[in-house]
Amino acid sequence: MPTGRTRAISRLAVAAVLLIAGAGSAWGQSPTPVEGTSIQPLPQPPPAPRVWLPVFQFRSGFWVNLVQFLYLQARIERGLPVVATGQSRPAAWAAADLSGLSPAEREAWQHAVGYFGRHFADYAQPYDSFLVRVDDRLSQMNGCAELTGKTDPDCDAGIDPTLGSILEQAAPVYRVHWWPEQRRADKQWMARATKLVQKYGGKPAEMLATEFNGSWPGSPIPIDVTLYAGPYGAYTTIDPLHITISSVDPRNQGPLALEVVFRESSHAVAWPAERVIIEECQRQTRAIPRELWHALAFYTTARIFQRAFADGWFHAAAGAPALFAESQRSYVAARRWQHYDEMLRLYWQPYLDGHTDMESAISQLVDAL
**Of the residues 122, 151, 183, which one is the last residue of a structural domain?**
183
Higher-confidence residue of 309 and 363: namely 363
- Residue 297 belongs to some domain of the structure: yes
**Of the residues 134, 152, 183, which one is the last residue of a structural domain?**
183
Q: What is the DSSP letter of 145?
A: S
Residue 264: what pLDDT?
Answer: 95
Least confident range of 41-45, 53-57, 75-79, 240-244: 41-45
For residue 266, is pLDDT > 90? yes
- Residue 314 belongs to some domain of the structure: yes
What is the tens place of the pLDDT at every residue in 142-165? 889 999 888 898 899 999 999 999
- Residue 275 belongs to some domain of the structure: yes
User: What does 67-125 look like in DSSP terms, one character per residue?
Assistant: HHHHHHHHHHHTT---S-TTSPPP-TTSS---TT--HHHHHHHHHHHHHHHHHTTT--T
For residue 5, is pLDDT > 60? no
Residue 39: what pLDDT?
Answer: 45
For residue 48, is pLDDT > 90? no
For residue 32, is pLDDT > 50? no
What domain count does the chain have? 2
**176 shares its domain with 69:** yes
**173 shares its domain with 67:** yes
Residue 126: what pLDDT?
Answer: 61
**177 shares its domain with 278:** no
Higher-confidence residue of 94 and 320: namely 94
Q: Which domain holds residue 346?
A: 270-367
Higher-confidence residue of 74 and 84: namely 74
The contacts of residue 138 (CB under 8 Å, 6+ apart) are: 61, 63, 64, 67, 147, 157, 159
The answer to whether 112 and 167 are in contact (CB under 8 A) is yes
3-state helix, strand, coil in the chain (%, to 5): 50, 5, 45
- Residue 225 belongs to some domain of the structure: no
- Residue 319 belongs to some domain of the structure: yes
| Type of residue at 187 | K
For residue 22, is pLDDT > 60? no
- Residue 298 belongs to some domain of the structure: yes
For residue 104, is pLDDT > 60? yes
Compute the distance between CA of residue 224 and CA of residue 140 in angstroms, rounded to an integer.
Answer: 10
Task: Please give the model's pTM, rounded to 2 decimal places.
Answer: 0.83
List C-alpha distances in Å: 147 to 73, 156, 168: 21, 5, 7
- Residue 102 belongs to some domain of the structure: yes
Confidence of residue 231 (pLDDT cuts 50, 70, 90): confident
Residue 325: what pLDDT?
Answer: 81
Q: What is the mean pLDDT of the chain?
A: 83
8-17, 35-44, 153-162, 219-228: range with highest mean pLDDT: 219-228
Give the residue from 210, 173, 182 showing the smallest Cα distance to 65: 182
**275 shares its domain with 179:** no
How many residues would you count in the chain? 369
**Of the residues 148, 183, 218, which one is the last residue of a structural domain?**
183
- Residue 251 belongs to some domain of the structure: no
Confidence of residue 6 (pLDDT cuts 50, 70, 90): very low
For residue 234, is pLDDT > 90? yes
What is the tens place of the pLDDT at every residue in 176-216? 999 999 999 999 999 999 999 999 999 899 999 999 999 99
What is the tens place of the pLDDT at every residue in 123-146? 876 666 677 788 888 988 888 999
13-27 mean pLDDT:
40
